[in-house]
Amino acid sequence: MNLQAHPDSLARALDEFRRQFGGEPRIFRAPGRVNLIGGHLDYNEGWVLPIAIDRSCYVLVRRRNDRVLRVHSAHFNETLEFCPGDSRPSSHHWSTYVRGVAWSLAREVPALPGANLLIESEVPLGSGLSSSAALEVAVGFALLSLAEAKIDPVVLALACQRAENEYVGMRCGIMDQFAACFGRRGCALLIDCRTLAVEPLPIDETRVRVVVANTMVKHALASSEYNIRRRECEEAAARARQSRPSLRTLRDVSWPEIESESRAWPENLRRRARHVTTEISRVKDAVRALRASDFASLGRLMSESHESLDADYQVTSPELNSMVAIARGLPGVLGARMTGGGFGGCTVNLVLAEHAESFASALAHAYEAETRHRPDVTICRASDGACEIEPWKNSRQSAGGSPAARSLS
């Protein structure tokens, strides 16, 4: 097998697979993502604008003759075995995500075969780049492929979301799984989280680059506060619905429409509603800006989004605010905001291409000097979504020596 074109992580994973399980696996990958704008809008049925990033979760897989799933995570250096029908573990162990996908897919494909799986990921865990959806989609794609089932990317994304919502207990929206499935090289994805329509919008990476900066700090309340924000949005929508029976979510109103009535609401609900409704307007403006390659406006809207997530949605952290404040003082930056659920994790920065390298190193230095945390700052490329990698094929059809890939969407 020719692995010259592959990242070290994949070569390591292949060695580990042979050692743990023996034989030659099939290899599937799904990317992490970063959202340019549209923070906390997916579960409000709004619009979001993520890119799939060039960091992936790899699942190496080989069919077994029984129904057992035996799974090794290189990150945790741990191997576990279970059957699809086994009772649900109570803890939030990493294997819950894998079990959840098998549980969820069993509704689509009742006779999932047993398999040995090895998981290796370049997506940092719990940093807001969606290592969880990358894992779910790569595992789901692998299991469906082994079962020789038809793979509809919408069905796969929804099955993975159901796994995270109902099995893991994290009430995430659909953005992460959609970005992992539908990512497109050189493009942001405009996702309508109500209709599930996806439109790739090209980003001219010769003019601007997306720089992701990991604060390396994650506060423990991230997942509990996420579920609280969801509930608050539902409560705000219920209040707005009293005079608008057809309203389903906060997507169905604008801020000017509810500004005066929301003065009578509890302050937290008013703030959440103001963030959601104004963020929806910002995404629409951002899409117009991106279509016109007006990157200055896109960057400005990203920065406004951060202010709203800080003041109204209250999901930032001191470290995220420091990273954003430092970024805004550096040459070439057009916009900076937190990305993901918040309370730590990563920021996303839109930077003029010629400044991207110097921006990344200056940001890393200044943030470390200020906080004593050494950040991970990466210039990302917008990448393709989930695919099977076939390293033994000579990949003449793909540029840059990258492996041949059978794509999902």
Residues in contact with ligand ADP by CB under 6 A are: 57, 73, 75-76, 94, 97, 119, 121, 125-132, 135, 340
How many Cβ atoms sit within 10 Å of the Cβ of residue 62?
17
Could you tell me how far CA 2 lies from the centroid of its own chain?
Answer: 30
176 assigned to active site: yes
> Judged by CB, which is closer to ligand ADP: 73, or 322?
73
Beta strands in 310-375 (DSSP E): 333-338, 344-352
Q: H helices within 150-219, ranges in order?
A: 153-162, 175-182
- Whether the CB-CB separation of 295 and 350 falls below 8 Å is answered with yes
> Judged by CB, which is closer to Mg ion: 18, or 230?
230
Q: Are strands 187-192 and 78-82 parallel, antiparallel or unpaired?
A: unpaired
Question: Which amino acid is residue 31, in one-letter code?
Answer: P
- Whether the CB-CB separation of 328 and 211 falls below 8 Å is answered with no
Stretch that binds Mg ion, among 48-56, 124-132, 236-244, 280-288 (CB under 5 A): 124-132
Stretch that binds Mg ion, among 17-25, 45-53, 132-140, 344-352 (CB under 5 A): 132-140
**3-class state of residue 98 by DSSP:** helix
Annotated catalytic residue within 42, 54, 176, 312: 176
Taking CB within 5 to 8 Å according to partner kind, which of Mg ion, ligand ADP, none is near residue 113?
none
Q: Give the strand order in the sheet containing 344-352.
A: 333-338, 344-352, 208-218, 376-380
Please report how close the Cβ of residue 161 comes to ligand ADP at its closest, in angstroms.
12
Please report how close the Cβ of residue 91 comes to Mg ion at its closest, in angstroms.
17
Please report how close the Cβ of residue 371 comes to Mg ion at its closest, in angstroms.
24
Find all residues with CB under 8 Å of 116, minimum gap 6, and list them: 17, 20, 21, 25, 61, 62, 64, 70, 71
- Which of 56, 95, 127, 132 is the binder for Mg ion (CB under 5 A)? 132
Please report how close the Cβ of residue 345 comes to Mg ion at its closest, in angstroms.
10
> Judged by CB, which is closer to ligand ADP: 46, or 128?
128
User: Should residue 116 be labelled a site residue for Mg ion when binding is judged by CB under 5 A?
Assistant: no
Q: How far apart are CA 21 and CA 15, in angstroms?
A: 10
Backbone angles phi and psi of 50, in degrees to 5: -85, 165
Token duo for residue 371: 């906080």
> Judged by CB, which is closer to ligand ADP: 131, or 262?
131
Please report how close the Cβ of residue 358 comes to Mg ion at its closest, in angstroms.
31
> Judged by CB, which is closer to Mg ion: 62, or 171?
171
Q: Which residues bind Mg ion (CB under 5 A)?
A: 130, 132
* Catalytic residue set: 176
